[in-house]
Amino acid sequence: MRLYVARHAEAGPGSAGADDQSRVLTGRGHAQALGLGLAFAGGAPPLEVRPEVVICSPVLRAHETARLAAEALGLEPLVDERLGLGGSVASVEAVIREHEVRGTNTLLLIGHNPTMTEMLLRVDPRASSLRLAECAVLDRDGATARLLGRVVMNSV
Protein backbone atom coordinates (compact mmCIF):
# COMPACT_ATOMS: atom_id res chain seq x y z
CA MET A 1 0.00 0.00 0.00
CA ARG A 2 1.19 3.51 -0.78
CA LEU A 3 0.47 5.59 2.29
CA TYR A 4 0.60 9.36 2.47
CA VAL A 5 0.69 10.77 6.01
CA ALA A 6 0.17 14.53 6.14
CA ARG A 7 -0.26 17.33 8.60
CA HIS A 8 -2.92 19.90 7.80
CA ALA A 9 -2.04 23.10 5.97
CA GLU A 10 -1.41 26.43 7.72
CA ALA A 11 -4.25 27.58 9.95
CA GLY A 12 -4.92 30.89 11.62
CA PRO A 13 -4.45 31.41 15.34
CA GLY A 14 -8.15 31.38 16.16
CA SER A 15 -9.97 34.02 18.11
CA ALA A 16 -9.93 34.56 21.85
CA GLY A 17 -12.16 32.07 23.59
CA ALA A 18 -12.70 30.04 20.42
CA ASP A 19 -12.08 26.33 20.60
CA ASP A 20 -8.97 24.98 18.87
CA GLN A 21 -11.05 22.69 16.67
CA SER A 22 -12.64 25.62 14.84
CA ARG A 23 -9.42 27.21 13.54
CA VAL A 24 -9.65 27.76 9.77
CA LEU A 25 -6.97 27.69 7.09
CA THR A 26 -5.25 30.92 6.20
CA GLY A 27 -5.13 32.07 2.58
CA ARG A 28 -1.70 30.46 2.36
CA GLY A 29 -3.13 27.27 3.90
CA HIS A 30 -5.82 27.13 1.20
CA ALA A 31 -3.16 27.46 -1.49
CA GLN A 32 -0.99 24.78 0.18
CA ALA A 33 -3.87 22.29 0.34
CA LEU A 34 -4.87 22.92 -3.26
CA GLY A 35 -1.21 22.64 -4.24
CA LEU A 36 -1.03 19.18 -2.66
CA GLY A 37 -4.03 18.01 -4.68
CA LEU A 38 -2.62 19.46 -7.88
CA ALA A 39 0.76 17.81 -7.19
CA PHE A 40 -1.00 14.45 -6.93
CA ALA A 41 -3.00 15.19 -10.07
CA GLY A 42 0.24 16.08 -11.88
CA GLY A 43 1.86 12.80 -10.89
CA ALA A 44 5.33 14.13 -10.04
CA PRO A 45 7.47 11.81 -7.88
CA PRO A 46 7.11 10.92 -5.08
CA LEU A 47 3.40 11.70 -5.54
CA GLU A 48 3.06 9.75 -8.79
CA VAL A 49 0.53 7.31 -7.29
CA ARG A 50 -2.78 9.08 -6.77
CA PRO A 51 -4.70 8.41 -3.56
CA GLU A 52 -7.80 6.28 -3.98
CA VAL A 53 -9.14 7.41 -0.61
CA VAL A 54 -8.58 10.57 1.43
CA ILE A 55 -9.30 10.38 5.17
CA CYS A 56 -9.04 13.27 7.57
CA SER A 57 -9.55 14.44 11.10
CA PRO A 58 -12.91 16.07 11.87
CA VAL A 59 -11.06 19.19 13.05
CA LEU A 60 -11.86 22.04 10.68
CA ARG A 61 -8.30 22.85 9.52
CA ALA A 62 -7.60 19.20 8.65
CA HIS A 63 -10.98 18.78 6.98
CA GLU A 64 -10.45 21.92 4.89
CA THR A 65 -6.99 20.67 3.86
CA ALA A 66 -8.43 17.30 2.84
CA ARG A 67 -11.38 18.81 1.00
CA LEU A 68 -9.21 21.09 -1.11
CA ALA A 69 -6.62 18.40 -1.89
CA ALA A 70 -9.28 15.79 -2.65
CA GLU A 71 -11.24 18.20 -4.85
CA ALA A 72 -8.29 18.44 -7.24
CA LEU A 73 -8.44 14.63 -7.53
CA GLY A 74 -12.20 14.38 -7.98
CA LEU A 75 -12.55 12.74 -4.57
CA GLU A 76 -14.57 13.45 -1.44
CA PRO A 77 -12.66 13.09 1.83
CA LEU A 78 -13.89 10.74 4.53
CA VAL A 79 -13.90 12.10 8.07
CA ASP A 80 -12.71 9.77 10.84
CA GLU A 81 -12.70 10.76 14.51
CA ARG A 82 -9.66 8.53 15.09
CA LEU A 83 -7.49 11.04 13.20
CA GLY A 84 -8.64 13.89 15.44
CA LEU A 85 -6.76 15.79 18.12
CA GLY A 86 -5.56 13.41 20.80
CA GLY A 87 -5.67 10.45 18.43
CA SER A 88 -3.16 7.64 18.80
CA VAL A 89 -0.91 5.71 16.47
CA ALA A 90 -2.93 2.60 17.34
CA SER A 91 -6.18 4.26 16.21
CA VAL A 92 -4.58 5.47 12.95
CA GLU A 93 -3.19 1.98 12.35
CA ALA A 94 -6.73 0.63 12.79
CA VAL A 95 -7.97 3.02 10.09
CA ILE A 96 -5.20 1.86 7.75
CA ARG A 97 -5.91 -1.83 8.39
CA GLU A 98 -9.62 -1.34 7.69
CA HIS A 99 -8.78 0.11 4.29
CA GLU A 100 -6.18 -2.57 3.52
CA VAL A 101 -8.86 -5.21 4.14
CA ARG A 102 -11.16 -3.35 1.72
CA GLY A 103 -8.46 -3.54 -0.95
CA THR A 104 -7.40 0.10 -0.90
CA ASN A 105 -3.96 0.43 -2.47
CA THR A 106 -3.33 4.14 -1.95
CA LEU A 107 -4.43 6.15 1.06
CA LEU A 108 -3.94 9.80 2.07
CA LEU A 109 -4.34 10.55 5.80
CA ILE A 110 -4.52 14.17 6.99
CA GLY A 111 -4.29 14.85 10.68
CA HIS A 112 -2.29 16.45 13.47
CA ASN A 113 0.88 16.20 15.48
CA PRO A 114 2.04 14.47 17.53
CA THR A 115 0.25 11.48 15.96
CA MET A 116 1.31 12.08 12.36
CA THR A 117 4.97 12.47 13.37
CA GLU A 118 4.72 9.35 15.55
CA MET A 119 3.49 7.44 12.48
CA LEU A 120 6.57 8.65 10.58
CA LEU A 121 8.95 7.83 13.45
CA ARG A 122 7.72 4.23 13.51
CA VAL A 123 9.07 3.90 9.97
CA ASP A 124 12.19 6.04 10.37
CA PRO A 125 13.24 6.70 13.99
CA ARG A 126 15.78 9.30 12.75
CA ALA A 127 13.17 11.39 10.94
CA SER A 128 12.47 14.94 12.02
CA SER A 129 9.03 16.09 13.06
CA LEU A 130 6.39 16.38 10.34
CA ARG A 131 5.84 20.10 9.79
CA LEU A 132 2.64 21.92 8.97
CA ALA A 133 1.67 21.35 5.35
CA GLU A 134 4.06 18.42 4.93
CA CYS A 135 3.32 14.95 3.61
CA ALA A 136 5.40 11.81 4.20
CA VAL A 137 5.29 9.16 1.47
CA LEU A 138 5.44 5.59 2.75
CA ASP A 139 5.48 2.23 1.02
CA ARG A 140 3.72 -0.19 3.35
CA ASP A 141 3.69 -3.97 3.13
CA GLY A 142 1.71 -5.37 6.02
CA ALA A 143 3.37 -4.40 9.29
CA THR A 144 6.53 -3.04 7.64
CA ALA A 145 6.95 0.24 5.84
CA ARG A 146 9.70 2.37 4.37
CA LEU A 147 9.91 6.09 3.87
CA LEU A 148 10.07 7.06 0.18
CA GLY A 149 10.18 10.80 0.68
CA ARG A 150 8.65 13.91 2.12
CA VAL A 151 6.85 16.69 0.29
CA VAL A 152 6.00 20.18 1.53
CA MET A 153 2.65 21.43 0.23
CA ASN A 154 3.54 24.29 -2.07
CA SER A 155 1.21 27.16 -2.73
CA VAL A 156 -0.19 27.33 -6.25
Chain segment 49-94, per-residue pLDDT in tens: 999 999 999 999 999 999 999 999 999 999 999 999 999 999 999 9
DSSP state of 82: G
Confidence band of 17 (pLDDT split at 50, 70, 90): low
Q: Which domains does the chain have, with CATH numbers?
A: 2-11+23-152 (3.40.50.1240)
Residues 11/24, Cβ–Cβ less than 8 Å: yes
Q: How far apart are CA 136 and CA 103, in angstroms?
A: 21
pTM: 0.94
User: Closest by alpha carbon to 70, among 111, 40, 103?
Assistant: 40
Inter-helix orientation angle 60-71/27-42, to 10°: 40
Tell me the pLDDT of the chain averaged across its residues: 92
Q: What is the pLDDT of residue 22?
A: 79
Residues 124/5, Cβ–Cβ less than 8 Å: no
DSSP state of 80: -
Q: How far apart are CA 123 and CA 47, in angstroms?
A: 18
| Beta-strand pair 144-152/134-141 | antiparallel
